Structure 1
Amino acid sequence: MSAPVPSSGWKNLPKALASRLAKLGIFREEDLLLHLPLRYEDETRLWTIGAAPAGTAVQIEAVVLSSEVALRPRRQLVARIADETGELTLRFLNFYPSQHKQLAQGARVRVFGEIRMGFFGAEMVHPRVKSLHGGEALPEAMTPVYPVTAGLAQSALRKLIAKAFERVRIEEALPEALRRALRLPGVERSLRALHMPQPGMAIAALEDHSHPAWRRIKFEELLVQQISLREAYAQRRARQAAPLPGSGELTGALLASLPFALTSAQRRAVDEIARDLVLPHPMQRLLQGDVGSGKTIVAALAMLQAAECGWQAALMAPTEILAEQHFHKLEAWFAPLGIRVAWLSGSQKKKQRAQALAMLASGEARLAVGTHALIEDPVAFPRLALAVVDEQHRFGVRQRLALREKREGDDSPLPHMLMMSATPIPRTLAMSFYADLDVSVLDELPPGRTPIVTKLVADARRAEVIGRVRDACVEGRQAYWVCPLIEESESLQLQTAVETHERLSEELAELKVGLVHGRLKADEKASVMAAFVRNEVQVLVATTVIEVGVDVPNASLMIIEHAERFGLAQLHQLRGRVGRGAAASSCILLYSQPLSQNGRARLRVIYENTDGFAIAREDLRLRGPGEMVGARQSGVPLLRYADLEADADLVEPAREAAEELLARHRDAVEVLLQRWVGGRGEYLKA
Structure 2
Amino acid sequence: MSETQLLESINSIKGVGPKKLEVLQANGIFTYLDLLTTYPRRYLDRNFTKDIILKQGDIVTLLGSIVDSYIVHGKKSRLIVGFRTLNNERINLVFFRGVNFFHKLFKVERKLVISGKLEYFKGYQIVHPEYEFLTDEKEEEGNFLHAGRIIPLYPSTESLKEEGLDSRGFRKLIYEILEKTQVVENLPKKIIKLRNLMIRDLAFRKIHFPENFEEIELSRRRFAYEELYYFQLLLLYKQKEREKIKRLLWPLPYSQSAATLLKSLPFQLTVDQLKAVERILDLAKKDVPLAALLQGDVGSGKTITALLIALHYIDNHIQVVMLAPTEILARQHYETVYKFMGNMPFLGIELLLGGENKKARAEKLSRIKNGESSFVVGTHSLFQDDVLFSDLGLVIIDEQHKFGVDQRENIRSKGKNPDILAMTATPIPRTLCLTLYGDLDLINIKTKPEGRKPIDTRWYKEDRRTGVYNSIRKYIKEGRQCYIVYPLVEDSEKVDLESCTNAHETLSKEIFPEFSVGLLHGKMKGPEKESVMSAFKQNKVQILVTTTVVEVGVDVPNATILMVEHADRFGISQLHQLRGRVGRSDIASYCILMTSDFVSDDARERLDALTKSNDGYELSEKDLAIRGPGELLGVKQSGLPEFKIADLVSDRQLLEEAKEDALKYSTGDEIEKMEISARFNEGKFLFAN
Tell me, yes or no, whether TM beats 0.5: yes
The one of 272, 276, 294 aligned to 2:301 = 294
Report what 1:661 is aligned to.
665
Q: Indicate whether 1:303 and 2:305 are aligned.
A: no
> In the alignment, which residue of structure 2 is the partner of 1:365?
373
- 2:92 aligned partner, one-letter code: E
Deviation at 1:353, TM superposition (A): 2.9
2:460 corresponds to 1:457: yes
CA contact (8 A) 1:269 1:440 kept: yes
Kindly indicate whether residue 328 of structure 2 is the aligned counterpart of residue 326 of structure 1: no
Contact 2:49 2:61 in 1 (8 A): no
Aligned match of 1:618 = 622
- The CA deviation string for residues 50-87 of structure 1, in whole angstroms up to 9 with x for no partner, is 758578888875456346999x99xxx97442336443
2:281 aligns with 274
Match status 1:589 vs 2:602: no
Alpha-carbon distance, 1:284 to partner: 0.7
Amino acid at match of 2:388: A
The Cα of 1:352 is off from its aligned counterpart by: 3.3
Distance 2:53 2:411 in 1: 67
CA distance in 2, matches of 1:67, 1:282: 79
Structure 2's unaligned 5+ residue stretches are 84-88
Matched residue of 1:525: which SS? Answer: helix
Cα 1:494–1:389, aligned 2, differ >3 Å: closer, same or farther? closer
Query: Residues 394 and 493 (structure 1 numbering): CA distance in 2 closer, same or farther, change over 3 Å?
Result: closer
Secondary structure of the 1:385 match is: strand
Matched, 1:572 2:576: yes
Shift of 1:126: 9.3
CA offset digits 1:9-41 (Å, max 9, x no partner): 546776765564456543432222222111223
For 1:614 and 1:264, the matched residues in 2 are separated by 21
Partner in structure 1 of residue 222 of structure 2:
216
Q: Which amino acid aligns with 1:313?
A: V
- 8 Å CA contact 1:429–1:644 kept in 2: the answer is yes
Q: Deviations over 1:503-527 (max 9, x none)?
A: 2111110001111112222222221
Aligned with 1:483 (options 483, 486, 501)? 486
1:239 aligns with 2:245: yes
Distance 1:64 1:570, change over 3 A: farther
Q: Does 1:265 align with 2:272?
A: yes
**1:90 pairs with one of 88, 92, 95:** 95
How much has 1:474 moved relative to structure 2?
Answer: 0.9
Is contact 1:513-1:541 (8 Å) kept? yes
Does structure 1 retain, via aligned residues, the 8 Å contact 2:114–2:129?
A: no
Between the aligned partners of 1:619 and 1:636, the Cα distance in structure 2 is 16
Counterpart residue identity of residue 215, structure 1:
R
Contact 2:429 2:624 in 1 (8 A): yes
Within the candidate set 620, 633, 641, 2:645 is matched to: 641
More divergent stretch after superposition (287-296 vs 161-170): 161-170
Rate the CA distance shift 1:602–1:250 in 2: closer, same or farther, 3 A. same
Alpha-carbon RMSD across the aligned residues, in angstroms, is 3.9
Match of 2:4 in 1: 4
Q: CA deviation at 1:252?
A: 2.6
Structure-1 residue corresponding to 2:158: 150
Question: Could you say what secondary structure the match of 1:496 adopts?
Answer: helix
Q: Secondary structure at the match of 2:159?
A: coil
Structure 1's 132 and 437: CA in aligned 2 closer, same or farther, altered over 3 A? closer
Q: CA deviation at 1:296?
A: 0.5
Residue in structure 1 matched with residue 528 of structure 2 by the alignment: 524
> Alignment partner of 1:144: what SS?
strand
Partner of 2:86: none
**Distance in structure 2 (CA, Å) of the matches to 1:7 and 1:581:** 61
**Does 391-400 or 53-62 show the bigger shift?**
53-62
1:420 aligns with 2:423: yes
SS of structure 2 residue aligned to 1:502: helix
Tell me the CA shift for residue 167 of structure 1. 6.0
**Residue 227 (1) aligns with residue 230 (2):** no
1:441 deviation in Å?
0.9
2:597 aligned counterpart, secondary structure:
coil
Q: Which whole-Å CA distance do the structure 1 matches of 2:497 and 2:362 have between them?
A: 42
- Which amino acid is 2:302 matched to? K
Instruction: Give me the whole-angstrom Cα distance separating, in 2, the residues matched to 1:325 and 1:69.
Output: 78
Structure 2 counterparts to residues 26-37 of structure 1, below 5 A: 26-37=29-40
The partner residue of 2:256 within 230, 249, 260 is 249
SS at match of 2:175: helix
Paired AA for residue 360 in structure 1: I
Match of 1:365, SS state, is coil
Aligned-partner Cα distance in 2 for 1:353–1:214: 56
Distance 1:45 1:551, change over 3 A: same
The question of whether the paired residues in 2 share the 8 Å contact of 1:625 and 1:644 is answered with yes
Structure 1 11/382 Cα, relative in aligned 2: closer, same or farther at 3 Å? farther
The structure-2 alpha-carbon separation of the partners of 1:100 and 1:681, relative to structure 1 and needing over 3 Å to count, comes to: closer
Please give the residue correspondences for 1:370-449 in structure 2 after superposition, counting only pairs within 5 Å: 370-407=378-415, 413-449=416-452
C-alpha spacing 1:255/1:2, structure 2 compared with 1 (3 Å): farther
Distance, in Å, in 2 between the alignment partners of 1:511 and 1:297 is 34
Other structure's SS at 2:655 match: helix
1:236 maps to amino acid: R
SS at the partner of 2:343? Answer: helix
Q: Secondary structure at the match of 1:143?
A: strand
SS at match of 2:284: helix
Give matches, 1:540-551, under 5 Å: 540-551=544-555
1:313 matched to which residue of 2? 320
The 10-residue stretch of structure 1 (104-113 or 314-323) with the greater mean CA deviation from structure 2: 104-113
- TM-score w.r.t. structure 2 length? 0.85
Maintained 8 Å contact 1:49/1:88: no
**Is the contact between residue 486 and residue 496 of structure 1 (CA under 8 Å) also seen in structure 2?**
no
* Percentage of pairs with the same residue: 37
Unaligned stretches of 5+ residues in structure 1: 408-412
